[in-house]
Amino acid sequence: MANFPNPEERIHQVEEPDPAGTYTASDYLNWTFEGLVELIRGKIYKMSPTPNLKHQRIAGLLYEQLCPVFKGHPCGLWIAPTDVYLVHPGEDYKKTHNIVEPDLFVVCDKSKLRSFGCVGAPDFIIEILSPSTSKKDIRFKRELYEEYGVKEYWMIQVTDRLVIVNRLEDGKYVTQRPYTVGNILSPQQFPELRIDLEKLFKGVEDIP
């Protein structure tokens, strides 16, 4: 029986995997090369090494608004970089082909939390889109989050000042109309959380 490495003590076995290969979490746990990657359907997707300032400002503003709501809440708020191993019930996380790094996410089932990340689908995910990752987030990740049962998935388009909301209904995402400046938006599961989009997007107006 294979001895899998502790995710906190990765073994120096692979310096740079073949981007054309297909991989699982057991491969991922042995990689030691620089930079963050995600696994989607077993394929490697490199993440931007340095997110732009608008991305980081939006992430910070969102965290500021979400953090007080989830302080002492039974559900927990987490931010990137945090590994999320998407698994179906009963699936060994080391065999999954899907490991993602959402910008912000909320988990209500504490049994999914491990020292090395989240094993199982979060309840709520926010991704802040950038030109280099928008196709991945809009198409591939949306399909994954739907398949694994993420109840609500927000995609924030900073340049267009839009938030696209996907809500799970009968196992399929229903995409709401785009929300923009002038709207106050709440996740369906957490109505106490109210995001004023005018304040959110105004926070990046001074960044070229």
Q: Is residue 190 part of a domain?
A: yes
C-alpha to C-alpha distance for 116 and 8, rounded to whole angstroms: 7
The pLDDT score that the predictor gives to residue 49 is 65
DSSP 134-168: HHIIIIIIHHHHHHHT-SEEEEEETTTTEEEEEEE
Q: Which CATH number fits the domain that encloses residue 75? A: 3.90.1570.10
Q: Is residue 35 part of a domain?
A: no
Q: Is residue 91 part of a domain?
A: yes
- Nearest CA to 99 out of 139, 50, 41 is that of 41
DSSP 67-95: HHHHTT-SSEEEESS--EE---TT--GGG
The pLDDT score that the predictor gives to residue 34 is 76
Instruction: Report residue 101 as tokens.
Output: 């790094």
DSSP class of residue 31 equals B
C-alpha to C-alpha distance for 186 and 97, rounded to whole angstroms: 31
Q: What is the pTM of this model?
A: 0.89
Domain that holds residue 170: 53-202
Let me know: does 124 contact 151? Beta carbons within 8 Å: yes
Owner of token pair 């989607």:
40
Cis peptide before 81 (omega within 30 of 0): yes
Residue 170 burial (CB count, 10 A) = 5
Q: Is residue 88 part of a domain?
A: yes
Q: Is residue 122 part of a domain?
A: yes
Q: How many domains does the chain have?
A: 1
How far is residue 84 from each of residues 30, 35, 107, measured CA to CA in Å? Answer: 16, 16, 11
The pLDDT score that the predictor gives to residue 99 is 98
Mean pLDDT in order along the chain per 10 residues (208 residues): 43 63 94 86 84 92 94 94 95 97 97 96 95 78 96 95 96 94 94 94 89
Q: Is residue 40 part of a domain?
A: no
The pLDDT score that the predictor gives to residue 12 is 38
207 CB-near residues (< 8 Å, 6+ apart)? 53, 54, 57
| DSSP-derived 3-state class of residue 39 | strand
Q: In the beta sheet, which residues pair with residue 43?
A: 40
Q: Is residue 32 part of a domain?
A: no
Owner of token pair 């002492």:
72
pLDDT tens, residue by residue, 152-195: 999 999 999 999 999 999 999 999 989 999 999 999 999 999 99
C-alpha to C-alpha distance for 37 and 136, rounded to whole angstroms: 12
Q: Is residue 45 part of a domain?
A: no
